[in-house]
Every structure is written in structure tokens, then in C-alpha cells.
Amino acid sequence: MLLLPRLLFVHAIIIAILGVLFGRQILEAQFGIIDDHEIVWFLGNKSSLAWADILSTVMDKTEVGNPFESQRFRPFYYLARATEAALWGDSASLWYAARFLMFATFIGCLLEGARRLVGLCAALALLAYVVMLPFWSGIWDRLGPAEIYAACGLGIWFASSTSLLIDQVPRRRSFLGLTIGTFMMCGSKETLLPFALLSIALLVMRRHAMPTTRWYLAMIGCALPAGIIASVMVLQLGATGKDIYGNSVGFGGRTDLLIDVAKQIIVSATGLTAVAAIAWLWSEPAQWRRATMAFAAASASILLIFASQAVVYGRGTAMTGRYEFPALICLPALWLAMTAYLGSVDRTQGAYLRLRQAAFMILVIVTHQLFTPEGDRSRVNAAELISAVETNVETTQRFANSLKKVVSQSRNDPSRPIILECRGGLSYEPIASVARFLRHANVENPIAIRFSRLSTDPDSDFFNALSSTIELLQDQGLEARGDDPYKLLQVLLKTFQADRGRGAMRLVPLKQIDAREQAIVWPLN
């Protein structure tokens, strides 16, 4: 009973720290030009999405309704986004507050699961390391990344999985959490489908401890959505032979990646074997065998997740930014597994055991921080997240001010053309973004695109397709037609075309804009 007040106190401190970190973002940040345009795309010209329109919005405006016209399939992500559009509408503060709560959920669930495995002190040390990893700066300082829902789902999944493993009679909420967490992850990012395999394996392993009906419901809840998502992705990728980034999905083109990842796994496996050998020295043989089997299964699961992310993304162990989630969490997950394993074979018990586990966890983290080279993405860097939050506030406010200025000028003269001035293939999303924001503001002025290529753009089929698509819109407006293997032109045209009783936006060829007219020029980059 004494543990509950301490846990509540710890959670209160964590929420207070998060409040200081994210408070300004909640109060002052606005919608940004990247990702956030989907929100106003759902809203149309209204301040919130009607509840009755959630399903039709998901089916009409996302890949869920047209799974074979895209190379993505994220049903939970878009259901959650549309539901939030109904809940929060066009209030950026409420959207950011929801992200704050999801980060708090991830942290709380991680702390609870780790506490049950290694005690509160070791869990707090692990938590401090995880939340200060630099990749969070590309997730929690924005509204759009799918990793937001995936991270929240991972926390729920981890706490539920731990409960299922430890409790002699698993509780109903553990089944529910496992199912929800699995769907949140797999339905937000297709690369997280391996977690569904782990959920299924866990349910099979604990079959004897679960009521039959509850077990079947949990199994169906984990396997069915993941199976549908996996089937759609196989059909999509099989038809194109390339992923959304234009990389070949065949193993032949990823030989170097596989070798790179295999080296990492061999090094990790060698270290884990050494840990097991050391544990053998001070434990009973029967106890060592049981604990080592569990440790081996946990370690293999963690390495499976790491390998799947590295290979699927096509970047090997050099993934950067938000794409490092959840690959970089695999390292502290291995530390957690080691600490729990050594505790399970240790002959000491009670508070002294928890103290030893906390000391071991802190020693591992400090050693890693001291001996890992500067710039390594597995080093903690709390300053990066703090800086990202501040930058996001400034960037979104700047975009909001630009949007407000253009909207004001266009309303003063609805015939005055707007020229979106942009450079490079990465202008593709900003073009779609400002079109949606202008539509949300009921702007009816003619719009043209003035585009120039950048010599620094990567020389790849995908980037060339991005630039070619923008050039087609610049030259032909809404009449643009051409080769569209990535469906890029189709998506942009849909942004400008008629929507729910409203006419098409007036996207015109640049050459139709009279040079003598004083156009509203909006530089996008």
C-alpha cells in the first residue's frame, strides 16, 4: 500500500516536468506547413469535423478507402486523426495538449512495466535515458507523425505484456491493453507489424493461464487487423516493387543492409551470451536454465524488432530522426532484459536486490554515455527536444502569420492571383499544405505555381517524380496529366479539385498569369 503514494508522487513530478517542457508549445504553437494540413483537409471550411462524417472522411480522403492507390495503409492512424478532428477541430492548442497526454501515457506505461521487472529506482533510471533520446525531437514537437500514436501504443503494449508475463492470472485490462497497443502500433506504422507477431507469441505462451473466450478475443484482436494490414502491404509492394521512398523491396537490393544489421546482431548476441555466462557462476543450474530461456526469448524479440526496422527502412543502422523509433529503444530494452535476468538469478531478495538492480542499470547507462562517441544517436541529448519545441513554436507562428497575411490580401481582391514560389522536390508537400489551408479559409483567388529544381536534390526516381509532378502543375494547372507511377500527381490534383459541394480551386498554369498583375507571391521555402 505504501507503493501507491510513491508512484503517484513520481507521476506527478513527471507530468510537472513535461508541463514545463511542452507548456509553451500547447499555449503558443500553431498549425505547421508540414503534416498539419491533413487536419484542415479533414475539416474543409468548418471549424470541426462532424461526428457523422468521421468514417466517410477516412474512406474518401485517405488511403484507407483506396488502399491500392497508395503505398501506405494505416487504418488506426487515420481513424484517430479524424476522431481528433471531431474532438479538437481547428484548435491547435487542444491538438498539442493531446500529444502531451499521449507522451505522458507512454512514459507512465513504460515506468509501470519496467518497475514490475526491476523495481522503481532502476525503472526511473531507464526512463530518464529513454525520454532524453534525441529522436523524440522529431515526434513530440509536431502534430502529424504517425510515431505519436505508435509510441503511445508501444507504452500500452509494454505495460500489458509485462502484466501478462508476471501475473499468475492475467487481468482483463491486460488483454485489452495488448490488443489496443498492437493495433495502435501496426495501424499507425506498417513497419511495426513484427509487434503483432510478438503479441501472438505471448498469447500462445500464456494460453494455459487465460480464460478461453478472453484468449480467443485477444488473439483475434491482435492477429486480424495485423493480417489485413500485412496483406494489403504485400499486394501494394508486390505490384510496384518499390516502397514509398522509391527503394526496391527485393532482398537483392538490400544485401549490404542485411550484412550491416547481421554484424550488429552478432555483436549484441555475443555480449548477451557473456552476460548469461556470468550469471551461471552464481546461480543454481535449474534456476539458471529457466531464467536464461526467458532472457534468450526476450533478447531475440528485441533484436527482431531492431533488425526489422533497419531493413524495412532501407537505411541499415544509419536511420535518422523520427525513423529511429523504435529501433533505438531496442538498446535500453536489452539493458532492461539484462537487469531483470540478473535479478532473477541473484540469490539476494527484497530491497537489497532492487538496489543492486538500480546500481547495475545506472552503471550501464553512465558507461554507455561516457564511452559512446559524440554525435552517436544513442547518446542522451535532452537539449535537442527542448530546442525542437522552441523551434516549432517559432516556425508555426511564422507560417500562421504568412497564411493570415495571404488570406487577408486575397479577400481584399478575390481576382488577384496567388503565386506559390518554391524550389526543389521537397516543395511537394508544402504546395499541398498551403492549398488545403487556403481552402479552409475559403480563399477563391486563382493560384499558380512557380517552381525551380535544385541541384542538391538526390538523383533518384522518387525525387525526379516529385519535381516532374510540380512542373506539370506549373505548366498545365488542373489540366495536368502525365506518367504518375507514385500517384503523386493524382494526390495533388485531388487537393485542388471539387470537394463536398464546393467547386475546384482555381489552379491555373503560370503562363496565364499576366505579368502586369500584382500577384500575391508566397515563398514556400
Whether the predicted pLDDT of 146 surpasses 80: yes
**CA atoms of 249 and 182, how far apart (whole Å):** 24
Residue 143 identity (one-letter amino acid): L
| Orientation of helix 428-440 relative to helix 461-476, angle to 10° | 40
Cβ contact 342:357 at 8 Å: yes
Cell (9 digits) for 194: 513484427
pLDDT band with cut points at 50, 70 and 90 for residue 320: confident
Among candidate residues 72, 79, 83, the one with its CA nearest the CA of residue 229: 72
Which of the two residues, 6 and 1, has the higher pLDDT score?
A: 6
Transcribe 93-124 into DSSP letters: HHHHHHHHHHHHHHHHHHHHHHHHHH-HHHHH
| pTM, entire model | 0.92
In DSSP terms, 420 is beta-bridged to 449, 522
Cell (9 digits) for 374: 559524440
Cell (9 digits) for 11: 507521476
| Orientation of helix 3-28 relative to helix 382-412, angle to 10° | 40
Centre a 10 Å sphere on the Cβ of residue 195 and count the other Cβ atoms it contains: 28
Mean pLDDT taken over the chain: 89
Cβ contact 418:513 at 8 Å: no
Cβ contact 181:130 at 8 Å: no
In DSSP terms, 448 is beta-bridged to 419
- From residue 10, give the alpha-carbon distance in Å to each of 115, 128, 385: 12, 12, 22
∠ Cα 269 273 279 (to 5°)? 145
Helices (H), ranges, 281-427? 285-313, 330-345, 350-371, 382-412
- Quick one: pLDDT at residue 202? 95
The helix/strand/coil state of 72 is coil
**CA atoms of 271 and 287, how far apart (whole Å):** 21
Transcribe 16-38 into DSSP letters: HHHHHHHHHHHHH----SSSTHH
Residue 463 identity (one-letter amino acid): F
Cell (9 digits) for 478: 488542373
- Quick one: pLDDT at residue 368? 92
**CA atoms of 85 and 502, how far apart (whole Å):** 20
Residue 280 identity (one-letter amino acid): W
**CA atoms of 525 and 521, how far apart (whole Å):** 12
- Quick one: pLDDT at residue 430? 96
Whether the predicted pLDDT of 242 surpasses 80: no
Q: What percent of the chain clears pLDDT 90, i.e. is strictly above it?
A: 65
End-to-end, the C-alpha distance of the chain in Å comes to 57
Per-residue pLDDT reduced to its tens digit, 484-504: 777 888 888 888 886 766 667
∠ Cα 92 94 97 (to 5°)? 110
Which secondary structure element, helix H or strand E, spans residue 61, and what is its range? helix 54-61
CA atoms within 13 A on the CB side of 453: 13
- Quick one: pLDDT at residue 1? 43
Q: Which residues make Cβ contacts (< 8 Å) with residue 312, sequence separation at least 6?
A: 191
